[in-house]
Amino acid sequence: MNNKPLSRKVAVVAGATRGAGRGIAVMLGAAGATVYCTGRSTREGRSDINRPETIEETAEMVTARGGKGIPVRVDHTEEKEVEAFFKRVDEEQNGQLDILVNDIWGGEQYVEWGVPFWEHSLASGMLLQERSVRAHLITSYYGVPLMVKRKQGIIIEMTDGVGYSYRGQLYYSLAKISPIHLATAMAEDLRPYNVTAVSVTPGFLRSEQMLAFYEVEEENWRDAVAKEPHFIESETPYFVGQAVAALAADPDVFTKSGKSLSSWVLSDVYGFIDIDGRKPHWGNYALKQGIMDKEQVGME
């Protein structure tokens, strides 16, 4: 069995600074890929999220796991920056791009939970669309031609949730449902070119920001269950990272093009477990707890 199935592959993880993006970049690196890690937070300056994680740190983690991490500061809402970035990838990799992950987000602090859309800040609501829809479109616009030219590759739209159900706030719902349809629509345009497009969601993500929110560390994350019982089924960012790496290494992945996928279903398909030795399954858990139905968790 090849433990470096992506050793000759080139990946771009747009939004690789922290959370799912970092987990995906690192696991692609563990599978041997060259990974461009983009984002706005660098050692020279933080983004408006104002957290300590940086793209340089992520790239170093990629390299430490056996891949090649390349940090590049890119604001994916700025078209010229994105265009210049993919020109660089094209030149450095001789036109090769095999994996494009759209994980651009950075919107948590702008969601006003429990507020109806007409009372929510319109500026904040539109910023969510700017970062999760427009930025993804710009990134795909300039990245996809490299794949189309070679008639191979996979685009992964990262989101929150599998279906089209309401996610508790209109602007947040729109921001997270849109990438699902982006993948579905791109899949149709890309079908003649043998390029796959899917959307992928993690379960209850134990990201750096979520750990900070519950005032715990990865080492004592279970202490947060007292505040949020559902946190018991949380997963590290490396769980969905393995899901993406497994998809990228699957020779039959084109059969999944256009689909909305999840870390928990893909863990069943590909047989991976989380790095802490657990096998979280948000779908089964949510059904058992009665907090979601089968359509909402993408399970028949």
pLDDT at 3: 85
Residue 22 included in any domain: yes
Q: Of 36, 142, 171, 172, which is the active-site residue? A: 172
DSSP state, 235? B
On whether residue 194 sits in a domain, the answer given is yes
Structure confidence at residue 66 as a pLDDT band (50, 70, 90): very high
Query: pLDDT band at residue 266, thresholds of 50, 70 and 90?
Result: very high
pLDDT at 299: 87
By residue range, what is the domain housing residue 64? 10-207+236-275
Report if residue 294 sits inside a domain. Answer: no
Q: Is residue 145 part of a domain?
A: yes
Q: Does 290 fall in a domain?
A: no
The whole-model pTM stands at 0.97
193 labelled catalytic = no
The per-residue DSSP string of 128-191 comes to: HHIIIIIHHHHHHHHHHHHHHHHT--EEEEE-S-SSS---SSHHHHHHHHHHHHHHHHHHHHHG
Mean pLDDT of the region 41-66: 94
Residues above pLDDT 70, as percent of the chain: 99
User: What pLDDT, on the 0 to 100 scale, is given for residue 151?
Assistant: 98
3-state SS class at 73: strand
Q: Could you tell me if residue 219 is inside a domain? A: no
pLDDT digits (tens, 9 = 90+) for 30-49: 999 999 999 999 999 888 88
The pLDDT, as a whole number, for residue 48 is 85
Q: How much of the chain, in percent, has pLDDT values that exceed 90?
A: 95
Tell me how far apart the alpha carbons of residues 26 and 211 are, in angstroms, rounded to a whole number.
19
Residue 17 sits in a domain of what CATH number? 3.40.50.720
Helix (H) / strand (E) containing 100: strand 99-102
The per-residue pLDDT for range 160-187, each reduced to its tens digit, is: 999 999 999 999 999 999 999 999 999 9
- For residue 49, what pLDDT is reported? 85
Q: Could you read off the pLDDT of 198-228 as tens digits, one per residue?
A: 999 999 999 999 999 999 999 999 999 999 9
In a domain, 45, yes or no: yes
Helices (H) and strands (E) in the chain, counts: 11, 7
What is the total count of domains within the chain? 1
Which structure tokens are listed for 148? 């189309």
Residue 50: per-residue pLDDT: 87
Per-residue model confidence (pLDDT) at position 1: 58
Residue 242 in domain: yes
